[in-house]
Amino acid sequence: MPVYNFAQLGARYRYLYAALLYESGMLDKLYTDFWMPVNLESDKLPSIMRKMAGRRSDRISNRKVVSFYRLGYQLYSALKKSNDIFYQSEVLAEFGSEFAKRQLKSIDRSSGYIGMCSESLEVIRELKKCGSQTTLIQYDACDDSSILITENRRWPDWSPEGNQRSPQYYRRVYLEWAETDRIMVNSEWTRDLIVTQGADPSKIYTVPLVCINRNPEADRQINMSKPLKVLFVGSVVLRKGVQYLIEAARLLNHSRFEFFILGQNYQSPDAFKGVGENVHFIGQIPFQEVEKYYRDCDVLVFPTLSDGFGSVQVEAMSYGLPVIATSSCASVAENEKSGFIIPPADTGSLVGCLDRLEEDRRLLEKLSVNAPLRAQEFSFENVTRSFKSMLSTVKEKVPDESC
């Protein structure tokens, strides 16, 4: 059975693809920055440590993990200096290169390799010479800046957040596309956009995101009479489309709805003029603490303008929340069955869906029952089959004798 090294900075996807390899007996090593070797209760920790407490997975043995703590701290410190996407992309390209170089000091060149975009170029080049199979995970649409041009004009009180990443970042990712054996995406939305940017379609494989297995919640109580609790999870930026949820909150009857906005807020107060007291900005909290809101709320709104997948959709559905999502991401919610699919940048459609759920609680109940059943389709077992099928697609290569 082939084995693979898996590499990622940060806790993207909660390490689930690495866990999938480990549970299949196919993980050589997981390379990352921060890794917490023991399970800690984050709500009892100082704020600076709460996020770090989530940098682990019970599904992966500590002995399989190689972590570069100093590099992780330096990356964290650099990213904290500015929220500008251009600056942050330069930082990610620089640290991605350093991360790859550090892996090369110890990595087994006979194993396959799976790494994240902008973090893998040097490893891919080295292993290419050695005949090892390489897979790049492209988790977003890379350059989707054109989508935000209209948004910047339409919402002048919102931070433009920087449309363009740096040329250094794009150049690095495009070289990774050219040199890797496979490009793994998690939705057809991402596939279509990166093909327009020059990715070779014959290399691209779509493997959906893994959801942590959960049983449907038999004891979930449907809210039949109280104000509808509406949840958003994500950064408060234009790309996430949260501006349309805020606009919907202004238009809907304040006494019939409560809105909970979870995520780092990059906006000035001017962006929220006219927003009622029923809109609660919770801020950024560790992902292990989001569970409370999944249990307490009635519906998740995912109004994105561009997302590779949108893992919060599956997470929310696994707790019995129907999802109102746009068509600008992975197809997760089934329209009128486990949620609603609406056009992006369409406040009217969002208002209509929320009004329907508030007025028709039997419809809310039906969607809530179906939501966790749909989430189960993104189980470890189902995605493992797709993942292994992808890994079996590339023929063996003859390695360079110098390896």
List the single range of 14-28, 44-58, 83-97, 312-326 with lowest mean pLDDT: 44-58
Global pTM value:
0.85
pLDDT of residue 215 exceeding 60, the answer is: no
As a whole number, the mean pLDDT across the chain is 91
Task: Give the type of residue at 374.
Answer: R
3 state SS of 48: helix
Residue 261, H or E segment? strand 257-262
CATH code of the domain made up of 4-210+380-391? 3.40.50
* CATH H-level, domain 228-378: superfamily: Glycogen Phosphorylase B; (3.40.50.2000)
pLDDT, residue 289, reads 86
User: What is the pLDDT averaged over residues 217-229?
Assistant: 85
pLDDT, residue 68, reads 97
User: What is the pLDDT averaged over residues 236-262?
Assistant: 95
Q: Is 278 left (phi over 0), alpha (psi -120 to 50) or beta?
A: alpha
Q: How many CA atoms lie within 13 A of 57 on its CB side?
A: 23
Split at pLDDT 50, 70, 90, the class of 28 is very high
Split at pLDDT 50, 70, 90, the class of 114 is very high
Rg (CA), the chain: 21
CATH 3.40.50.2000 domain residues, the chain: 228-378
**What residues have CB less than 8 Å from 143, skipping those under 6 apart?**
164, 165, 170, 197
Please state, in angstroms and as integers, the Cα–Cα distance from residue 71 to each residue in 14, 33, 35, following that order.
19, 6, 12
Give the tens place of pLDDT for each residue, 49-59.
Answer: 677 777 899 99
Give the tens place of pLDDT for each residue, 169-200.
Answer: 999 999 999 999 999 999 999 999 999 999 99
pLDDT, residue 214, reads 59
Please list the residues that pair with 135 across neighbouring strands: 114, 182
